[in-house]
Amino acid sequence: MEYDHATGLLEGVSQRPSPNFNDRPDGVAPELLVIHNISLPPGRYGGPYIDDLFCNRLDPAADDYFAGIGDLCVSAHLLIRRDGELLQYVPLHKRAWHAGVSCWRGRENCNDFSIGVELEGSDDDPYDPRQYKALVRLVDCLIGVWPALAGNIVGHSDIAPGRKSDPGPAFDWSVLKHLSAEAGGGTRK
């Protein structure tokens, strides 16, 4: 996996351009990686609905749950599907809209200085081993570009406690650490 500094895109990754992003503040580079989970409708995997949400195409009539989220303008930089497929929605040098009201080590507005990675899943369903492997490859690539990310990998729940719970208790941080160590990566969370 290679990062193109000019475009902010990862080469060899499926691109699904989202309109839901803006520029980072001047001089601010990614220093935090935030892991989320998403499934649409909740607890169901596969299908086009995550793409539709991030690209403002979600049909509120397609599922009762969508009526409450159909008008949201949200995104993440990346999504790792259950089978390990990696999709990119926002260039990494841009500010995706994934964190919402958030704070990390006294700094608010985590979207300004973070990269958001969604895992297709839910708080309570075990994640697929292929997702962990894809996440390790991604993290190692990103740390190669932005070394400040090393040791600054957190869950959405860590930056929005009480408001968010993802990636949830089903996410096994020890598996991420173990696979990363096997791959020669640095310490996580």
Are the beta carbons of 75 and 21 closer than 8 angstroms? Answer: yes
* Superfamily of domain covering 21-182: Peptidoglycan recognition protein-like (3.40.80.10)
Angle, helices 173-182/129-145, rounded to nearest 10 degrees:
60
Active site residues: 118
188: pLDDT strictly greater than 60: no
Average pLDDT over residues 142-149: 96
Average pLDDT over residues 146-152: 94
Among candidates 12, 1, 135, which has minimal Cα distance to 81? 135
φ, ψ for residue 107, nearest 5 deg? -100, 125
**110 compared with 188, residue with greater pLDDT:** 110
7: pLDDT strictly greater than 90: yes
| Domain boundaries defined on the chain | 21-182
| Burial classification of residue 143, based on how many CB atoms lie within 10 Å of its CB (0-12 exposed, 13-18 middle, 19 or more buried) | buried
Per-residue model confidence as pLDDT tens digits over 85-126: 999 999 999 999 999 999 999 999 999 999 999 999 999 999
Query: DSSP character for 182?
Result: H
CB-based contacts of 126: which residues, under 8 Å, 6+ apart? 170, 172
> Percentage of the chain surpassing pLDDT 90?
91
Distance CA 189, CA 90 (A): 24
Task: Give the pLDDT confidence score for residue 180 in this predicted structure.
Answer: 72
Counting DSSP H helices and E strands in the chain, the numbers are 4, 12
Task: Give the pLDDT confidence score for residue 179 in this predicted structure.
Answer: 74
**16 compared with 176, residue with greater pLDDT:** 16
Per-residue model confidence as pLDDT tens digits over 17-56: 999 999 999 999 999 999 999 999 999 999 999 999 999 9
